[in-house]
Amino acid sequence: MKFTHPFTLLCFIGLFLLGTSCENETVTNTTGEPNTNITPDTQEVAEYAMVIHGGAGTLRRADMTAEKDSMYRSALDSALTIGEQVLQSGGSAADAVEQTINYLENVPLFNAGKGAVFTAAGQHELDASFMDGATLNAGAVGGVTNVKHPITAARAVMENSEHVFLSGPGAEEFALEQGLETVPNSYFFTQHRYDALQEAQSAEAEAESERTSMLSPPFPDHKFGTVGCVALDKEGNIVAGTSTGGMTNKKYGRIGDSPIIGAGTYANNATCGVSCTGHGEFFIRYAVAYDVHAHMAYGKKTLANATEAVVMEKLVDAGGSGGLIALDKYGNIAMTYNTEGMYRGYVKPGERVVGIYKDE
């Protein structure tokens, strides 16, 4: 755009005022309550910052035992410590994201790596994606069954292949050639995910007799549980990653948003990094991760207003449940979700927050 037009100055004034007006909007969720999970945006640059999620869904305080609550908080806290150690010592955002997600992939509580949900065929198929905001390079794997750390495979696709997205046995062949750790599919087994499959399949059998259409999924909540991480390092680089076991009782080789750059994951040093979790079909149709960037890049929204517009307005209007974590180049943090809760946390120098429910 060349600013040689005589009206340009007036345009600039108009845009500046509109921008100011946007930034002054109160950030509220759909129930009208202020969304306390969005830090007011500033332009002071944090030395480093990192934000994580462990899935969004129907997470109510009343449904949670004290023990389970504490296990989740402790895991989120440990994940933040791992990433912060990398960033504090001047390590790269890429290393922080990979190591943090590697840890979350090892924790059986989350639907990623060990603890991944079961497909309809009683298997585990894992997806992950990784994006570097400095180069806009990206990598992803879909439907891998024997790669211990899908996020590491996604990073290897980015760094050591000419491709962005590898799937199935081909992705596994690539991981093997890269010398990545492989495990038998049974490694991913956990009793609680097995029970969830049995439940989903019995309820599905009941529902099948009542409906002919597949348009209404009987268990929207069985889509949740993905993990993700976005980091800003001391060099100002933003990296985002997402890893998931997909959807309980998954059929037909369904691919969700997690391995899709622009849907589940996006990073761009000029604006923000984003990792999503939720009802993946909506996140693909609405290109959610890229949309946060686009609102900032073209709509001149702040991070808080961009994530709000996408998650609390666009997705809510469409009926798409879920949430996302994001940070911008200043280290402002957003943890925005339209569900009852989201396992989440962030860390900056001298600041650390871990949360699960909406009312905290």
Binding span for a second copy by CB under 8 A among 33-41, 81-89, 215-223, 270-278: 215-223
122 binds a second copy (CB under 8 A): no
Angle at 304 (CA atoms; ends 20, 306), nearest 5 degrees = 85
Q: Among 12-20, 27-35, 92-100, 345-353, which window interacts with a second copy (CB under 8 A)? A: 12-20
If the CB atoms of residues 82 and 141 are measured against a second copy, the closer one turns out to be 141
SS3 184: coil
* Shortest Å distance, C-beta 281 to a second copy: 5
Q: Return the biggest CA–CA distance within the chain.
A: 69
**Is the Cα dihedral 185, 71, 223, 166 positive or negative?**
negative
**Residue 14 token pair:** 């108009």
DSSP output for 87-120: HHTT--HHHHHHHHHHHHHH-TTSSSSTTPPPBT
- 270 contributes a contact to a second copy by CB under 8 A: no
Find the binder of a second copy among 161, 181, 207, 208 (CB under 8 A).
Answer: 161
Shortest distance, position 191 Cβ to a second copy, whole Å? 26
Which residue, 67 or 317, is less far from a second copy as judged by CB? Answer: 317
Instruction: Single out the catalytic residue among 119, 152, 226, 307.
Output: 226
From 49, 284, 334, 347, residue interacting with a second copy (rule: CB under 8 A): 284
The verdict on whether 226 is a catalytic residue reads yes
Determine contact, residues 354/80, Cβ cutoff 8 Å.
yes
Contact assessment for residue 247 and residue 116, using Cβ atoms and an 8 Å cutoff: no
Angstrom distance (rounded) from CA 3 to CA 24: 27
30 is a contact residue toward a second copy (CB under 8 A): no
The DSSP symbol for 210 reads: T
Residues in touch with a second copy (CB under 8 A): 1-2, 5, 7-8, 10-15, 17-18, 20-22, 24-25, 131, 136-138, 142-143, 160-171, 173-174, 214-217, 251-256, 260-263, 266, 280-281, 284-287, 290-291, 294-295, 297-299, 318
